[in-house]
Amino acid sequence: MHTPVQLPFISRRRLLGATAGLAGLMLAGVGSAAPVQGRIRLAGWSKPISEITNILAEPEHGFFKARGVELAYLPGAGGGDAIRNLLSGQADVAFTDPGSLFMALDKGEKLVAIYDIYPQNVFNVVSLKSAGIRKPADLKGKKIGVYSLSSGTRLNLLVMLHQAGLEESDVSIVVTGLLNFAPLMQGQVDATAATDTGLAVGLRRGLAEVDVMHVRDHLNISSDMFVVREGTLRQQPDLLKAFLKGYRDSAAWMIANPEEAATLAGKYAIDGTQRDINLDVIRLRNAASLPTVEGKGLGSFDLEALQKGADAYRALGLVQRRIEVAEVVDTSLLPEA
């Protein structure tokens, strides 16, 4: 038997508030493509996995096509990877975490965040109960797995360590890849930095009783956002706006139709072989997509929380200068709620 997966409940009121007016837009758009505006190359932090089924479902539903956008997805291995693909010119938009954005800005890169994909912090640190790791201070001297050195798992782990007055040198970080619960179960690491969806999959696949420390309990900032170069924002605002409408439509569809999305994940996601796990993952991502600010629509930012995040990264020493979040977030392209 496995520990039951605790899935957040999305209330009807929150769902309606976040997706008001979208049903008509989606029904009107899909199936009748708008005039082609251009192509968007989206640099992801991951391979095509079930939690981004709303993007992978494009061949079925044509959310982006209906807005005149030809979408191409470029897989990656962490938010830093997505930023590198953006800066190298291989991509037009990066699907990345705030920490990776802050670090790029600190190096002088001209980047702008235009859409908050997951306003909720979904990162955690998981250990077997037998390890006795109950609080961040207990991580000292331990081996901790991360997806990659350029991933949000590592950066959010550093945030948690900071809460206990620890530094990266106080632990041993081990790169375990996306399926990082196997090394935990096999005793190769003492704990693993992961996400809510990663934990859900681990529990479904036999992970024993665990202790979970949520990063949101220490710093609740966005998990991922869409980031572009300043030049792209100036030169192609209409194309980017169409892209965001397509993404917003796809996210609203997945929130409203998790069962269908779970089935399609089996067709398009590399990890979509078990429909029950797909459904767990999709429900978690749907919950993380909802705005944290009451009355705001999908994609909206909480600038106050994001500024706290930027300040925390500076306190950690991950960035050297103060980043004024309001200067690197542009909400002018957000679709109307």
pLDDT in tens, 94-109: 999 999 999 999 999 9
Nearest in space to 123 (alpha carbons), one of 164, 153, 167, 93: 153
Q: Are the beta carbons of 215 and 160 closer than 8 angstroms?
A: yes
Token readout for 246 is 């397509």
Rounded average pLDDT over 57-68: 97
The pLDDT assigned to 16 comes to 42
Domain map (residue ranges) of the chain: 12-119+221-327, 123-217
The pLDDT assigned to 32 comes to 56
Reported confidence tier of residue 3, pLDDT bands at 50, 70, 90: very low
| Residue 285 pLDDT > 80 | yes
The pLDDT assigned to 8 comes to 42
| Residue 18 pLDDT > 70 | no
Percent of the chain at pLDDT exceeding 90: 74
**200-225 confidence digits (pLDDT tens):** 988 888 888 999 999 999 888 999 99
Reported confidence tier of residue 36, pLDDT bands at 50, 70, 90: confident
Q: Do domains 12-119+221-327 and 123-217 have the same CATH topology?
A: yes
Q: How many residues does the chain have?
A: 337
The pLDDT assigned to 28 comes to 35
Return the CATH fold of 123-217. Answer: D-Maltodextrin-Binding Protein; domain 2 (3.40.190)
Return the CATH fold of 12-119+221-327. Answer: D-Maltodextrin-Binding Protein; domain 2 (3.40.190)
Estimate to the nearest angstrom the gap between the alpha carbon of 115 and the chain centroid.
12
> Identity (one letter) of the amino acid at 300?
S
| Residue 182 pLDDT > 90 | no
The pLDDT assigned to 180 comes to 66
Question: Which of 10-14, 167-171, 332-336 bottoms out in mean pLDDT, i.e. has the lowest?
Answer: 10-14
Sheet with 224-229, side-by-side order of all strands: 69-74, 38-43, 93-96, 224-229, 111-118
Residues 95, 97, 102, 107: is their CA dihedral positive or negative? negative
**187-198 confidence digits (pLDDT tens):** 999 999 999 998
Percent of the chain at pLDDT exceeding 70: 89
